[in-house]
C-alpha cells in the first residue's frame, strides 16, 4: 500500500544501529511518504551515521529522557525540522546489569528506579514534552515485550514493561479527548544490539520460531516495523490503549 504515511511528520526514538527496530520503522515510514526526525542518546556520532543510511538522511536530536532540560527543550528542537508531529515512536529501554540476569531479589532500588524511569515513565514524559506539537489524529506508539508472564533473566525489565503497558492505558485515557491515540506493539524477539545484552535472550529466541504458529525470524525486524507504521497511519482511527501482538502468534500458544 504505497503512501500509507504520505505527509506524516514522525519523531522516532531508539535508533542505535541499522539492526534496530526503530531504524526499520523509520525506513519503512519514509518509503511510505513520511518525514522523519530521529532522537539519539550517548553515541550520537553513531546514530548520526546510521541516520545517513535511511532512504532520506534524517536529522538527529540528542535526547536523554532522564534529563528534564532535554525534555523541556525537545519541542523547540523538533520545530527546527518540522512544524508539527503526527506520530511518535517510543523505542527506549534500559536496565542496569543488576536488573537483568542477576538474582531478582538482589537488585537495589536505585537500579530498579532507573529501569522504570527509562523504560516506562519516559513513555509519558516523552509524550508530554511533544504535546505542543501533536495534532488531532496523532498516534503515539511504544515498543513492548510480553509482560504477562515472568521470562528467564528478564527480571526488573519485565516489571518495567508491565508498567509501560499500564502507562499506555492511562495515556490513552488522558489523550483520547484530544483525539490522540496511544498504543503498543508487543514484538517477538529481534536480534538487536539491545537484545544481545539480555542474559538468556538466545534461549528465548531459539524456542520462538518453532513454537510460533506463523514461525518467527529473529533477524527480520520488518514485520514489526510494518506493524508500527500501520498504527502510525490513519487506518486504525479508533484503536487506542491497546497492544498489537507482532510475534508470529507465539503469545497465543506459550512456551
Active site residues: 154, 161
Rounded Cα distance between 93 and 217, Å, is 22
Name the strand (E) or helix (H) holding 246: strand 242-246
DSSP state of 213: T
Backbone angles phi, psi at 112, to 5 degrees: -65, -40
Q: How many CA atoms lie within 13 A of 123 on its CB side?
A: 31
Which of 153, 158, 43 minimizes the C-alpha distance to 93?
A: 158
Rounded Cα distance between 55 and 57, Å, is 6
DSSP state of 61: E
Rounded Cα distance between 247 and 97, Å, is 26
The C-alpha torsion from 86 through 166 and 212 to 104, rounded to 10°, is 130
Which of 198, 168, 171, 197 minimizes the C-alpha distance to 184?
A: 168
Chain mean position to CA 128: 16
Amino acid at each position: 500500500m504505497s503512501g500509507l504515511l504520505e505527509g506524516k511528520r514522525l519523531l522516532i526514538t531508539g535508533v542505535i544501529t541499522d539492526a534496530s527496530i526503530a531504524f526499520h520503522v523509520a525506513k519503512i515510514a519514509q518509503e511510505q511518504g513520511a518525514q522523519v526526525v530521529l532522537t539519539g542518546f550517548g553515541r550520537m556520532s553513531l546514530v548520526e551515521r546510521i541516520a545517513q543510511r535511511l532512504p532520506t538522511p534524517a536529522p538527529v536530536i540528542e535526547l536523554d529522557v532522564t534529563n528534564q532540560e532535554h525534555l523541556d527543550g525537545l519541542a523547540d528542537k523538533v520545530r527546527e525540522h518540522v512544524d508539527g508531529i503526527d506520530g511518535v515512536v517510543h523505542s527506549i529501554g534500559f536496565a542496569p546489569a543488576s536488573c537483568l540476569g542477576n538474582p531478582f531479589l538482589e537488585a537495589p532500588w536505585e537500579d530498579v528506579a532507573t529501569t522504570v524511569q527509562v523504560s516506562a515513565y519516559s513513555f509519558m514524559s516523552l509524550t508530554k514534552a511533544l504535546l505542543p506539537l501533536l495534532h488531532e489524529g496523532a498516534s503515539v506508539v511504544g515498543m513492548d515485550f510480553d509482560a504477562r508472564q515472568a521470562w528467564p533473566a528478564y527480571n526488573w525489565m519485565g516489571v518495567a514493561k508491565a508498567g509501560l503497558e499500564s502507562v499506555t492505558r492511562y495515556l490513552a485515557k488522558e489523550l483520547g479527548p484530544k483525539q490522540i491515540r496511544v498504543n503498543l506493539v508487543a514484538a517477538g524477539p529481534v536480534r538487536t544490539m539491545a537484545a544481545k545484552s539480555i542474559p538468556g535472550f538466545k534461549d528465548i529466541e531459539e524456542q520462538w520460531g518453532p513454537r510460533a504458529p506463523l514461525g518467527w525470524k529473529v533477524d527480520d525486524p520488518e514485520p514489526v516495523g510494518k506493524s508500527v507504521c500501520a498504527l502510525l497511519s490513519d487506518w486504525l482511527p479508533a484503536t487506542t490503549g491497546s497492544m498489537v501482538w507482532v510475534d508470529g502468534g507465539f503469545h497465543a500458544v506459550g512456551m
